[in-house]
Chains A and B, each alone.
Chain A
Amino acid sequence: MERAGLSEAPAVLVAVALTALVAALIGAVALRTRGVAFAMVTLAFAEAFSILLLSDRCGCRAARRVCRSSRKACPTCCAVS
């Protein structure tokens, strides 16, 4: 957000809007299931996101650059982005 030149308050608004957008996309998939399956699908998305963060500490753009140079460095990130 700092890179985009946003101050804190607008940054929060953008973050919340992005969260809602991502939630709508994931929800559209996950809510096709019910009960235990629904819990599993949402947890899977959460885990995927968590792994994505762990494997890439400096933002996805940097990650993509790294990916191009060495695919072995962050396989999960390459798979997702």
Chain B
Amino acid sequence: MRGVVNTRWLYWLALAYLVVTFLLARAAVGSLAGRVWEAIRENEDRVELLGLKPFGFKLIAFVLGCALAGLGGAVYLLLVRGTNPGVASADFTLTLLVMVVLGRAGRLWGAALGGLLYGLASLRLSALSGSAVLDALPDWAASILSEPLFLLGSLFVLLMLFAPRGRRGRVDALAPYALRVPNPGIQEHAMTASHQIETARLTTHVLDTETEGAPVMFVHGNASDSAAWEEQLELLDTGYRGIAVDLRGYGRSEPKPLDVTRGTGDYADDLRALVETLELGGVHLVAHSLGAGVAYRYAIDHPSDVRSMTLVAPVSPYGFGGTRADGAPVFQDCAGSGGGAANPELVRRIAAGDRSDDDPASPRTVVRTIFFPTTEDVRDEDGIVESMLRTEIGDDYYPGTSQPSSNWPGMAPGDRGVLNAISPKYLDLSGFATSGCRAPVLWLRGEHDAVISDTSMLEFGHLGALGLIPEWPGAEVYPAQPMDAQTRQVLSAYADAGGSVAEELFEATGHFVFTQHPKRFAGLLRGHLKAAG
């Protein structure tokens, strides 16, 4: 490579290095390890919770990056014909960082583009500093413009401020502002009252706005309680009475075992008993996750007493875990669903009242990693943790019993406890479509919901497909449960039967849609309630 004759080859050498680096990086990002890298970038805690060790994957990325940088150093040595200790200084390292930020982090060709921009800028800005253009300007402006590094540094600061994580980062950072739609109709209630109501079936705890108007019944999801709805009760429009109920085994209601063979029947009957005791008549139902399974049941049993339904991240009408697109169980014994599907460490820590974030399966960590798409999105963390800790733990409650199965993943539903009640073995709410209920349905779901979605992080088919559960028999035998597709199928059958259905997607949102975007949620609910009359 030495000698003037070979100089022209240096350009091609540098270009070849660029191409080789790009191709290698692309192959790496596209590999299995690359998928884990992306997952770590989005939410490292969630990766850890899933049982992968981020450390090893980060080390691979670190070593690969350094080796490529080493190769780059060899090319650089030839290009500049020699070296000096200055290239090992922090200045040079930071220059490389500036290039990456200029090209916007988060995409492969960004670094190449940034390098090009930086190279051009440093050449042009140096030329500018000596040009005659500056003579025409006032002294202070000329002195600023004649400092190329000052200009580059300012550009760097501006980019860091407005595009901290590249393209995606900027979109996410701006999202909360875009969604802050002014809503003059929303008034805050002074307070919600907490009552224990003696019904014919259960001592039921409720939060009640005690306002005049049509009753809106809020039903919480699994491992949660009425407190999750407190904010929405306060945001509820005037002219309605908001009541958030604690289901049996949750919150401050009396814990009473379920008859799992009735699916969500016991919960729905408890709700009916509450409606009768309070003499509410027809109610608007707002239900989250498991609560939606209760709402479907209630609507099937009392079709004319439902004024409207708002289903938030609703459990699939065919139950949670181990079903195919048409709702049929993967195996006869519904293996992969029921009480054995819960993380035993999480169960133990809820029972122990663990408020720490010591373990990937601590309730607090689960809130951060599973209930919200990223740690930055988490709202009301303490409130959600407290709700979760009020979950009754045991064989008759959460998670319930399990029995061994010869089918993958080796366990099938038992006959006690909530996860068995919502397993496909006992839960089939597809009859909602032809129940005779005609209440308008609003379906709200978060784009990155890790609980209820076609890619649920708590469902064995999807976990198997991700390679996290050994010996997964493949998508032909045990596909990931397409929960959203199943809900859509039942709701479109409902629409065909004469009901109205609207679906609303919350971008970059997790399982707790109404906690992550309370005002947008309240606005949509307000419109839906109004339209239902």
Tell me, yes or no, whether A37 is within 8 Å of chain B by CB. Answer: no
B90 contacts A47, C-beta separation under 8 Å? yes
A19 contacts B1, C-beta separation under 8 Å? no
B88 contacts A31, C-beta separation under 8 Å? no
A12-62 interface with B by 8 A CB criterion:
12, 15-20, 22-24, 27-28, 30-32, 34, 43, 46-47, 49-50, 53-54, 57
A-contact bits for B35-78, CB 8 A (1 contact / 0 none): 00000000010000000000100110011011101110110000
Kindly identify which residue among B1, B58, B66, B71 contacts A22, using a CB–CB cutoff of 8 Å.
B66
Nearest Cβ in chain A — how far from B94, in angstroms? 9
Interface size class of B (residues with CB under 8 A): 20 to 34
In angstroms, Cα B67 to Cα A53, docked, is 20
Tell me, yes or no, whether B82 is within 8 Å of chain A by CB. Answer: no
B63 contacts A27, C-beta separation under 8 Å? yes
Number of interface residues of A (CB under 8 A): 25
Residues of chain A lying within 8 A (CB to CB) of residue B88: 46, 49-50, 53
In angstroms, Cα B54 to Cα A31, docked, is 10
B59 contacts A34, C-beta separation under 8 Å? no
Nearest Cβ in chain A — how far from B12, in angstroms? 16
Which chain A residue shows the least CB distance to B62? Answer: A27
Which chain A residue shows the least CB distance to B67? Answer: A20
Residues of chain B lying within 8 A (CB to CB) of residue A24: 59, 62-63
Residues of chain B lying within 8 A (CB to CB) of residue A47: 90
In angstroms, Cα B74 to Cα A12, docked, is 6
Contact A28/B59 with A49-B88, A54-B85 known, Cβ cut-off 8 Å: yes
Residues of chain B lying within 8 A (CB to CB) of residue A54: 85
Tell me, yes or no, whether B89 is within 8 Å of chain A by CB. Answer: yes
Residues of chain B lying within 8 A (CB to CB) of residue A22: 66
Residues of chain A lying within 8 A (CB to CB) of residue B67: 16-17, 19-20, 23
Residue in B58, B67, B69 whose Cβ sees the most chain A Cβ within 10 Å: B67
In angstroms, Cα B56 to Cα A27, docked, is 10
Kindly identify which residue among A12, A19, A50 contacts B66, using a CB–CB cutoff of 8 Å.
A19
In angstroms, Cα B72 to Cα A12, docked, is 10
Kindly identify which residue among A12, A17, A46, A53 contacts B85, using a CB–CB cutoff of 8 Å.
A53
B71 contacts A12, C-beta separation under 8 Å? yes
Kindly identify which residue among B44, B59, B85, B93 contacts A43, using a CB–CB cutoff of 8 Å.
B93
B55 contacts A50, C-beta separation under 8 Å? no
Nearest Cβ in chain A — how far from B73, in angstroms? 7
Nearest Cβ in chain B — how far from A54, in angstroms? 5
Residues of chain B lying within 8 A (CB to CB) of residue A8: 1
A19 contacts B70, C-beta separation under 8 Å? yes
B69 contacts A19, C-beta separation under 8 Å? yes
A31 contacts B71, C-beta separation under 8 Å? no
In angstroms, Cα B58 to Cα A31, docked, is 7
Contact A50/B69 with A15-B74, A24-B59 known, Cβ cut-off 8 Å: no
A46 contacts B44, C-beta separation under 8 Å? no
A20 contacts B93, C-beta separation under 8 Å? no
Nearest Cβ in chain A — how far from B17, in angstroms? 11
B62 contacts A23, C-beta separation under 8 Å? yes
Which chain B residue shows the least CB distance to A47? Answer: B90
Contact A20/B90 with A28-B59, A31-B62 known, Cβ cut-off 8 Å: no
Contact A31/B85 with A15-B73, A16-B71 known, Cβ cut-off 8 Å: no
In angstroms, Cα B66 to Cα A22, docked, is 9
In angstroms, Cα B74 to Cα A60, docked, is 20
Which chain B residue shows the least CB distance to A43? Answer: B90
Contact A50/B70 with A8-B1, A31-B62 known, Cβ cut-off 8 Å: no
Residue in A20, A54, A57 whose Cβ sees the most chain B Cβ within 10 Å: A20
In angstroms, Cα B55 to Cα A24, docked, is 12
Which chain A residue shows the least CB distance to B85? Answer: A53
Contact A20/B71 with A31-B55, A53-B85 known, Cβ cut-off 8 Å: no
Question: A interface vs B, CB < 8 Å?
Answer: 8, 12, 15-20, 22-24, 27-28, 30-32, 34, 43, 46-47, 49-50, 53-54, 57
Given contacts A16-B70, A27-B63, 12 further A-B contacts (CB under 8 A): A12-B71, A12-B74, A15-B74, A16-B67, A19-B69, A20-B63, A23-B67, A31-B59, A34-B44, A46-B88, A46-B90, A50-B85
Question: B interface vs A, CB < 8 Å?
Answer: 1, 44, 55, 58-59, 62-63, 65-67, 69-71, 73-74, 85, 88-90, 93
Nearest first, the 8 A-B pairs at minimum CB distance are A19-B70, A23-B66, A27-B62, A53-B85, A20-B67, A50-B88, A12-B74, A16-B70
A-B contact pairs, 21 of them (CB 8 A): A12-B74, A16-B70, A16-B71, A18-B70, A19-B67, A20-B63, A23-B63, A23-B66, A23-B67, A27-B58, A27-B59, A27-B62, A30-B62, A31-B58, A32-B55, A46-B88, A46-B93, A47-B90, A50-B90, A53-B85, A57-B85
